[in-house]
Structure 1
Amino acid sequence: MTATPAQPYSPSEPRAHHALRDTLTLLALPLVAALALPAAFAGGGTRRWFGGRAENQRAEAQAAKDAAAAAFYELDTAQRDLRISIETITAVDDSPAARRAVSDFEALGRRIDEASHQYINAVDAHDLDRDDLEASVAARARTELTAAKDELGRVKQDLDRFADGLGPLLGKAETQLARLAPAVERARQGLLAASNALDAVRQSGLKADDLAARLAALGPELTKLNQGAGAHGVPQTLERAERVAREAEAVRVEAERLPEKAAEIDHRLVSLRTRAQALTTRAGQVEPVLSELRRRFAAACWQDLQQVPDQATENVRQAELKLTEARAARDAQRWPDATALLSTVRALLNSTDESVSAAGDRLRRLNAVQKDPQQEIDRTRFAIRDAQRLAMTGRNTPDPRHARPLDESVARLERAIGTLEGRHPDYWHFLTETEGVRQAVARVVAQIRDERGAAPH
């Protein structure tokens, strides 16, 4: 439904199309030219003019025709503008709401076609320029043209309401379209920055084959970005641009950090090798500790430590092998492999450190409790009494949920004290029991505090 510029009449063209084209042309004329037309018709026309009722009806019909043409033009313009909005939405959005908007627009299009046909038929049915136009014919033309204009206006109102309802969908689509070009540009710039960072690293003598492979994998994605949203869709292109920018940035950051990572790996290689050597020396000191434990304490106090020397030696040997592999990986600039191997070495040395330290710590604690077990007893009793006071705070009788485990802790401590009697006391069992009692008491204290903290004030 498009108004076209005025052209010479063609004999085969319907008379209504001539009239429609003249009317739309008149609407587009400058004001001065439009004002000059009546004078031109009055002074130079060849049609005979009749006064009276027929001419009045003719004028009213012509006015109705002009008003209908204006309504037709307004509806056509609104439909064209709205079609652009619908195309914007469909280019970005494939949601049910967007599909429903397209369907509703198509339904409105059918109503517009019907109203337009009504208008065109009304124009075609009456030649208002005939010399012998009867008043009744002119009146009928005015009625039909007015009805056509009113229907065009009603459809225009419905179209306007529909356009107002598109606001959220259109806003979302326009936002995505506005993001598209900057997102694609950020992706391109990100790839360029990653490539430059990779070149700089290579010039420093470091290899970055894994980073180069990751960057090369983004090449096809850049090709699709360059092909544009028309080929791949706006949402897909926007998602692709953001992903490419994100991955390119990750490559750039890792490339720029590569010299620092190489230096860090070199430092860890030296540090862990030094630590392995120190643990070798410490592991050799475990056997004398075990000998003293065997000589002075019951078997239960040291049996679980029997394997420490052999295990420590094996762990250090494995750590040194992994260090050799890590050095080879670093020399080949296989950075992920070197990092993983160094983590394994660290875990082995940590485990060895703990087991070697455990032997010396065991002897120290057993010496202390053998010399003065009362200190451990007093420490545990104090923890129990402190928990009992807390349980009684603000109460006449303790809550059974708190009293029961505290009473059991008292009994457990008394049993542990009883194990100290005899010729060869199991001091390690005594220590583990007192530590277990303190842990149980600490759980009761935490429970009481949590309950009181959660209670309403």
Structure 2
Amino acid sequence: MTATPAQPYSPFEPCTRSAHRPPSPARTRRRPAHDTLALIALPLLAVLALPAAFAGGGTRRWFGGRAESQRAEAQAAKDAAAAAFYELDTAQRDLRISIETITAVDDSPAARRAVADFEALGRRIDEASHRYITAVDAHDLDRDDLEASAAVRARTELTAAKDDLGRVKSDLERFEQGLGPLLGKAETQLARLAPAVERARQALLAASNALDGVRGSGLRADDLAARLAALGPELTKLNQGAGRHGVPETLERAERVSREAGAVRAEAERLPERAAEIDHRLVSLRTRAQALTTRSGQVEPVLSELRRRFSAACWQDLQHVPEQAAESVRQAELKLKEARAARDEQRWPDATSLLSTVRALLNNTDEAVSAAGDRLQRLNAVSKDPQQEIDRTRFAVRDAQRLAMAGRSTPDPRHARPLDDSVARLDRAVATLEGRHPDYWHFLTETEAVRQTVARVVSQIREERGAGA
């Protein structure tokens, strides 16, 4: 009985035999050589084919459609959280620049409150960032054996981290919008800083050049040089910058330096003209002093005529005019000598001050000398015709009375009373003219006082009616 040839064994064929069943005689026979080679070649081909089978999909184990879907969703959540983290970090960096801009310029309570609020937001940002980093570190989405439940947990935590980052970013944006006024003010001051410092430097340079020009013309200008030298430390601080001294202080310093240097420059440029003006005033005031000396000598004849023709009340207050005039002129001449010495020494402020003193002395002397002549002239006029002074004063009173009654049946007591008193005062003044030696000067002072009172009433009436209109 011919034995049935044995079939070759395939490693991919399911084995249904029992593991402990003894081999059949047919399987104990020696296989041909070509069959043995085939059995060796097949496993080798299978091993060589395995890398090619996974060349397109990597080395990740395949877990099925649901696991890969959960992995993809978790990865998307991770990418979204990373984007939110980056956006928040960028917004925080930009806002920190704005806060630094404000604090560099503004130290007001509002600015300090903004800094404190930003620091509080920074702590919230740190907490949200920590939760995000913790969620990223807790889940390795590239693991080969990542289970679907782990991917779901990763997606949940990463989504929560993203939402938390988004909420903090929204709060940061609202905070940034509220900084608008403070930031605008700070940026405005910073924009002013560089031009202000440059203007100060240019003003100092211009003042120095103007001073050099004045000195070249032979004028020392020591006081201006001292003022300019005092600005040197201020220029040093400006060059050190606002980072060391603060923006508001630097702005204020730059404006002050510009202002003071500009004043030095203006005075330096005007100094030649000022020197010429002082020279002119020296000559003019000396001429005036000499003229007053001559006029003072004419006061005594005027007083003599007053004593001869009028009562003592008309000239007693003028008795000391000649002595006072002479003393004032003497003092003025002394001050003129001091002013000349100050001008020669180029002490311009001293020269100007001394010339002002000379002018005041000469003005007082001129008024005193003129008073004697004016007194004689007025007394001569009133002694010849006092009625002219009386009529002039009565006309002023009546004109005021008509104004007070305009549009009224009875005058306002506030207006009528001083006008009635003025009429009585004028009558009393006229009565003093009776007698052998009338006091004409008292009469003139009384009529003048009456006219001044009437003028005040008229002004009051017009102001009240103008306000009512």
Mapping 1:165-204, distance limit 5 Å: 165-204=178-217
Runs of 4+ in 1 over 4 A off after TM superposition: none
Q: Which has the larger radius of gyration?
A: 2
Mapping 1:127-206, distance limit 5 Å: 127-206=140-219
Amino acid at match of 2:77: A
Q: CA deviation at 1:49?
A: 3.5
CA distance in structure 2 between the partners assigned to 1:376 and 1:396 by the alignment = 31
Q: CA deviation at 1:56?
A: 0.7
Q: TM-score scaled by structure 2?
A: 0.88
- Indicate conservation of the 8 Å contact 2:336/2:354, yes or no: yes
Q: TM-score scaled by structure 1?
A: 0.90
Residue 49 in structure 1 maps to residue 62 in structure 2: yes
Give the equivalent residue in structure 2 for 1:362. Answer: 375
CA distance in structure 1 between the partners assigned to 2:171 and 2:56 by the alignment = 44
Q: CA deviation at 1:228?
A: 0.9
- 5+ residue gaps, structure 2: 1-53
Amino acid at match of 2:238: L
Give the equivalent residue in structure 2 for 1:241. Answer: 254
Q: Deviations over 1:41-97 (max 9, x none)?
A: 983632223322111111100100000000001001101111111111111111111
SS in structure 1 of the partner of residue 56 of structure 2: helix
Give the equivalent residue in structure 2 for 1:14. Answer: none
Mapping 1:27-426, distance limit 5 Å: 43=56, 45-426=58-439
**CA distance 1:180–1:431, shift in 2 (3 Å):** same
- 5+ residue gaps, structure 1: 1-40
Greater Cα shift, 262-271 or 137-146: 137-146
SS in structure 2 of the partner of residue 250 of structure 1: helix
Amino acid at match of 1:275: R
CA distance in structure 2 between the partners assigned to 1:284 and 1:198 by the alignment = 48
Greater Cα shift, 360-369 or 82-91: 82-91
CA distance in structure 2 between the partners assigned to 1:340 and 1:46 by the alignment = 103
**CA distance 1:42–1:286, shift in 2 (3 Å):** farther
**CA distance 1:84–1:42, shift in 2 (3 Å):** farther
CA distance in structure 2 between the partners assigned to 1:213 and 1:51 by the alignment = 93
Q: Deviations over 1:292-331 (max 9, x none)?
A: 0000000000000000000000000000000000000000
CA distance in structure 2 between the partners assigned to 1:305 and 1:321 by the alignment = 25
Q: Deviations over 1:413-457 (max 9, x none)?
A: 1100000000000000000000011111111111111111111x4
Q: CA deviation at 1:125?
A: 1.4
Give the equivalent residue in structure 1 for 2:31. Answer: none
Q: CA deviation at 1:106?
A: 0.5
SS in structure 1 of the partner of residue 144 of structure 2: coil
Match of 2:453 among 440, 453, 456: 440
Residue correspondences, number: 416
Give the equivalent residue in structure 2 for 1:36. Answer: none
SS in structure 1 of the partner of residue 407 of structure 2: coil
Aligned-pair Cα RMSD in Å? 1.1
Amino acid at match of 2:232: G
Greater Cα shift, 83-92 or 259-268: 83-92
Q: CA deviation at 1:234?
A: 1.2
SS in structure 1 of the partner of residue 346 of structure 2: coil
- Indicate conservation of the 8 Å contact 2:61/2:145, yes or no: no
CA distance in structure 1 between the partners assigned to 2:259 and 2:130 by the alignment = 55
- Indicate conservation of the 8 Å contact 2:311/2:437, yes or no: yes
- Indicate conservation of the 8 Å contact 2:296/2:325, yes or no: yes
